[in-house]
Amino acid sequence: MNDSAKQEAVAVLFSNRGIRYTGFFFILGYRTDDESFLAGIRKNDDIQPVGFFSQGLKEEEKRTLIQAISANRKPGSDPVNVRVDPGICVELSFTAIENGGLVHPMFRSFQLGVDWKACTWDKLVIDNAPAGPNGIKVTHPDKLVWKDVPITKEGYISYLLQVSPVMLPFLEQRVLTNIRYTQGIPGEFFYQKNCPDYAPDFIQTVKVNDIDYIVCDNVSTLGWLGNQMAIEYHIPFNRIGADKPLEIVFDLDPPSREQFSLAVKAAIEMRNVFEGFGVISYPKVSGGKGLQIHIPLGNRSSLTYDDTRVFTEFVAKYLVERFPGDFTIERLKKNRGGKLYLDYIQHAEGKTIICPYSPRGTDEATVAAPLYWDEVQIGLSSKSFTIPTVLERLSKGECPMSGYFQQTNAAVPRIISMLKEQLVGSR
């Protein structure tokens, strides 16, 4: 899979790729003029029509379905459009989903033993995930992962699969640290670095410093981790086998969520600095209390962590000098005096950052969501970016970090060379 394919938006999850998808739906009605049947599915606890079908039914099956609809027609149905409450479940195949509707739907079978409430969008996503022969196995699909929102395990794994085209490129070929909430959120959690002994054979690992890390390079692994209640996905700045960073990330850490505006101010000032230097940068909410700014360096960058420290330290100290009442580089929390901490030391070998699109273990099911720069303004709130809202954002457009891995930021090495020369000259 190339980078451009990986950066596709969630809207193409069920794209027309010359294959037929399958799923369970319920009947919502019948159109008498062309003898077609209206199918529906549950999405976010709402009943959502997905279009009419007529192909694939034998005459006897068609008559049986018409009789069942006629016997249970809803009051007020007109002679052409007969409507019924959900109850009759069927399996359909289709070639794509466009604008919320099935493309070329075809009847496969009645599913009389299926409760219509089990015909969900999340199940449709999981059952059709491109996960190879293993598929995605979900144990206890109705278990609540986020109790306050609420989001079930089925809904959570569906989220991971829907964002996989834009999340996996950031996980690819990087060792993974997870935070697992085995009993849901809120609840106890633990960090997982070592791959558990019971992991299936398809889980790839790599040993680094005696730790057997999981490498999440594919949908199957992502789905398995979700089923293990791995909620947060933390990654280093370099890929496996490399000792040079793939990116620079600034972590803008305000004292509390209530002071998120300080992170917005810092991000805007950083953007001005970066644009002045000709540096391309990408903001994202951390999903916690702050913001993070990503600067891609490209796969062939020769910059070391020591080199990038020159750049990150310069930017951080520049902001502190300009706004000493708002920002600080003081590492001890007790000495920060309510200021935003510009954490340039965090960008180092062995350190990690939250992966774009990773959920967070917050009561609101917030997400480390990429932003467009014009969204970074006063009034922005990290609480607005949750599992449901991020899916809605992606369904309407591309990822704000689209093209990230094609950027090389050739200006950064030149800036670092200039800064090094100034440091030598000042000694």
Supply 7's token pair. 């950066």
Q: Where are the beta strands (DSSP E) in 104-165?
A: 106-110, 144-146, 151-152
| pTM of the predicted structure, to 2 decimals | 0.92
Of 84, 72, 3, 75, which is closest to residue 47 (Cα–Cα)? 84
The stretch 134-141 carries a mean pLDDT of 90
Averaged over 356-382, what is the pLDDT?
96
Question: What was the pLDDT predicted at 1?
Answer: 36
pLDDT digits (tens, 9 = 90+) for 302-328: 999 999 999 999 999 999 999 999 999
* Closest-CA residue to 225 (of 288, 168, 166, 286): 168
Q: What tens digit of pLDDT does each residue of 37-55 get?
A: 999 999 988 999 999 999 9
pLDDT given for residue 342 in this prediction: 94
Residues 135, 132: Cα–Cα separation, whole Å: 6
Q: How many other C-beta atoms can be found within 10 angstroms of the C-beta atom of residue 66?
A: 16
> How far apart are alpha carbons 280 and 219 in whole angstroms?
29
In this prediction, what percent of the chain has a pLDDT beyond 90?
Answer: 85
Q: What pLDDT is attached to residue 324?
A: 96
Q: Is 298 helix (H, G, I), strand (E, B) or coil?
A: coil
- The pair of structure tokens assigned to 384 is 């607005």
Q: CATH number of the domain at 247-420, out of 3.30.1490.20, 3.40.50.800, 3.30.70.3300, 3.20.20.140?
A: 3.30.70.3300
Answer whether residue 377 shows pLDDT above 90.
yes
Taking only the tens place, the pLDDT of each residue in 191-206 is: 999 999 999 999 999 9
Q: Residue 74 is which amino acid?
A: K
Q: Is the pLDDT of residue 378 over 70?
A: yes
Q: What is the pLDDT of residues 261-305, one digit of tens each?
A: 999 999 999 999 999 999 999 999 999 999 999 999 998 899 999
Non-local CB neighbours of 229 within 8 Å, separated by 6+ positions: 145, 153, 180, 181, 182, 183, 184
Percentage above 70 pLDDT, the chain: 96
Average pLDDT of the chain?
92
- Correct CATH for 21-128 of 1.10.3430.10, 2.40.50.140, 1.10.10.10, 3.40.50.720: 2.40.50.140
Structural domain boundaries in the chain: 21-128, 144-236, 247-420
Give the CB-side neighbour count of residue 300, counting CA atoms within 13 A: 4
What is the Cβ-side half-sphere exposure of residue 58, based on CA atoms within 13 angstroms?
5
Give the containing element (helix H, strand E) for 328. Answer: strand 327-328
Q: How many residues comprise the chain?
A: 427
Query: H/E element holding 235?
Result: strand 230-235
Q: Worst-scoring range by mean pLDDT, 12-16, 332-336, 350-354?
A: 12-16
Predicted confidence (pLDDT) at residue 9 exceeds the cutoff of 60? no
